Amino acid sequence: MSSLQSVQNNQPQDNQPPTKKKTKKTKGIALVALLAGGTWLTLFLTEVVTLGGVPYSVLSKVLQDRDARAALLAMNSKALHDRMNVMGVEYDIKKYYSKSIKDPVELDQHIHQIFYDRTGYVGENYVVVKGELVPKSYDIVDEIYDCQAC
């Protein structure tokens, strides 16, 4: 057999089935993706991690409410914010983050930033500066520090 024929015989052709090596590699990648996805889902469900800053308990609460779900799907930020306010979602998120953010002003701003990032809603006490929420005045900062429930 000539060297040209041996080189031609070693090159895979387009119509040949995948080799065992490629199949094993694909299965390995799929297994790693499945394990990573399952791990993340477990961490999310146990609220070790959040989805876009929103813990599982809050997301499931919003998705289970017909009016909140409709406002979310319609991308109606005002209606969604109003409905979440009635549902006590802000309190739930503050409770979740209060373990790691001790300063009440920083906590309030962080929660409103999450709302803004996810829904586009700007709370009445905030203005947007380069994508970041900033309190309109120092009066609101004093009010938050004085709030016993915050």
pLDDT tens per residue across span 62-120: 999 999 999 989 989 889 888 988 999 989 999 999 999 999 889 989 999 998 998 88
Tokens of 150: 């915050």
Phi, psi of 127 (to 5 degrees): -125, 155
Confidence band, pLDDT 50/70/90 cuts, at residue 42: very high
Ramachandran region, residue 131 (left: φ > 0; alpha: ψ -120 to 50; beta: rest): left
